[in-house]
Structure 1
Amino acid sequence: MSRDGAPLVDLRCESHTYPDGTVGMHDIEFSVYPDESIALVGGNGAGKSTLLEHLNATLVPDDGELVVDGTPITEDTKAYARKAVGFVFQDADTQLVAPTVLDDVMFGLQNYGVPGDEANQRAREALAAVDASHLEGRIPHHLSGGEKRLVGLAGVLVLDPSVVVLDEPLAGLDPERAQLVADRIQRVHDEGISVVFSTHDLDFAAEVADRVYVMADGNVIGSGTPREVFYDDGLLDEANLHPPSAVRVARDVGIGAIAQPVTETDLVSLLTDTGDSKTVQTPSIDDRGRD
């Protein structure tokens, strides 16, 4: 992760109020830098989806500003924000619009005037990037939840975004599909694309994120590295969150105060080094429950 220079996305939102008068977000400062992965965590109703939808101008602040790649986003430049910051919605059906998967991934390119042959080739490459080439002739609405998320991700990647934003990408998926989607998100980040995702699964956040933002009551109440955030009991209590499994196990066996592991890999390595690995069983991603 590098945070040198200007951010790719810089959001300042003093307030955002929905038409019914509900305050969805206030006093927000949120930045995304090149080559980083950010997790946004918080309880239901904390404002996570509202914040994410501001990052590509799906929503706009009542009072504030969004800057993407140095360009202030106005009504005239919203299209630029939506190309540079790709958004994968939690409800994948909302962005699946074409009769076949390949047509769906090509759809955004065609809207930007990319010729048919080039759009076809780029769509196939995007599907291959998320290991979904075998789905190209399928009807999108007949896919499983995990398959729909991958197609939605391909439909974003085909536009060569600087940042990919995913709203609860693992929600509602069985453990096998959740692991598949999680692996593809990590692969996108490994390719040098910045990733922002909201999640209730703090184990997933600990594994993937370079930085974590914590939200409660429409506001960011804290941020930092996974270690800084997930060992801050006061911050997690304020957001009504429980720490990741590795943090809880580390504390149970008495090593949390010193080594502070946040992932299963960290924990197993520490326990192996101390000779305690046989006494503790840590949950894998396949064993964890999901909201």
Structure 2
Amino acid sequence: MHDVEFSVGREEVVALVGGNGAGKSTLLEHLNGTLVPDEGELVVDGTPVTDGDLSALRTEVGFVFQDADTQLVAPTVLDDVMFGLQNAGVDPAEAKSRAREALATVEASHLEDRIPHYLSGGEKRLVGLAGVLVLDPSVVVLDEPFAGLDPERSRVVADRIRAVHERGISVVLSTHDLDVAADLADRVTVMADGNVVGDGTPAEVFYDDELLASANLHPPTPVRIARSTGIVSAAKPVTEAELVALLGEDSAAVSAGDDANSRVAESE
């Protein structure tokens, strides 16, 4: 990475996008001290982070790895979600209660007695997410949370990410799925060749053809449809819901125009 500046605000969802090798995972691994910068600094809640306080950082910033198997270490799901609390010396009864609450938050309570390595990819992501939520972080970082998942399981994971955000937790996620990024994110940061090359709202980023081309990205499906049908307006739809609403407004306007023309013809 080269002179990267990156931030996430309170209760904000930031999507980090870019092509393969852009530096997304490398940047994310700095956010909880898995990697440390050669130059510059990492600041969490106004406090610069040093090598001596990485444990405090990892409590504040929970990290869900792309390969969920790298963080699933216990014989059962419940044991795995309790693992961080047990390392911190939390009373076993309290640790179990908090682990069950975290599993309930991601709607994975039914998995608590399962063996983690026999879970599906989507289930592993949910257990990994519960394992960081149990530590009550202020920020959750997810590296490619939808990689390798079918559309239904991607939808489930996206819904659980929304639930985490609704609890007042900031979220940073990297993804190649720009449709999902448009739907989830308050802000989109674009990386290419180890640099942050753009940053803004989904509408600002996904209607910037030059920026997307510089990162080898294509606009989300709703953006392409809006442009191909010629209905792009100041609203700049980036999600399916926004596009449907805009199409509905156009249809209503056409219908109103037809009715008006009909009345004029009748009066003549």
TM-score for both structures, normalised by structure 1: 0.86
In structure 1, the partner of 2:104 is 128
- Provide the C-alpha distance between the structure 2 equivalents of 1:243 and 1:250, rounded to a whole number of angstroms: 11
Q: Which is bigger in relative contact order (C-alpha 8 A, separation at least 6)?
A: 2
Amino acid at match of 1:133: S
Asked if 2 retains the 8 angstrom alpha-carbon contact of 1:251 and 1:257, the reply is no
Structure 1 CA distance for aligned equivalents of residues 72 and 252 of structure 2: 49
Among candidates 137, 157, 163, match of residue 161 of structure 1: 137
State the match for 1:246 in structure 2. Answer: 222
CA distance in 2, matches of 1:196, 1:224: 14
**Which of structures 1 and 2 has the bigger CA Rg?**
2
Kindly report structure 1 stretches of 4+ aligned residues shifted beyond 2 Å.
Answer: none
Query: What does the per-residue CA deviation read over 1:129-154, in whole Å, with 9 as the maximum and x for residues that have no partner?
Result: 00000000000000000000000000
Deviation at 1:120, TM superposition (A): 0.4
Match of 1:219 among 175, 178, 195: 195
**Which of 85, 89, 95 matches 1:109?**
85
Q: Distance in 2 between matches of 1:207 and 1:218?
A: 25
Matches within 5 A, 1:115-264: 115-264=91-240
Point out the structure with the larger helix share.
Answer: 2
| Structure 1 residue 276: Cα displacement | 7.8
Q: Answer yes or no: is the 8 Å Cα contact 1:127–1:154 preserved in 2.
A: yes
% same residue: 74
Once residues 263 and 222 of structure 1 are traced to their aligned partners in structure 2, the CA distance between those partners, rounded to angstroms, is 20
SS at match of 2:4: strand
Shift of 1:259: 3.0
- Is the Cα–Cα contact under 8 Å of residues 46 and 216 in structure 1 kept in the other structure? yes
Give the letter aligned to residue 240 of structure 1.
N
Tell me how many residue pairs correspond in the alignment: 253
Report the AA paired with residue 68 of structure 1: V
- Residues 40 and 214, structure 1, Cα contact 8 Å, conserved in 2: yes
2:42 corresponds in structure 1 to 66
Find the residue that maps to 1:110 and give its secondary structure.
helix
- Runs of 5+ unmatched residues, structure 1: 1-24, 278-291
Q: TM-score, normalised by structure 2?
A: 0.93
Local SS of the residue matching 1:28 = coil
CA–CA separation in structure 1 for the residues paired with 2:6 and 2:235: 29
Deviation at 1:70, TM superposition (A): 2.0
In structure 1, C-alpha distance between the alignment counterparts of 2:252 and 2:110, rounded to whole Å: 44
Whole-angstrom distance in 1 between the partners of 2:118 and 2:5: 39
- Displacement of 1:188 in angstroms is 0.7
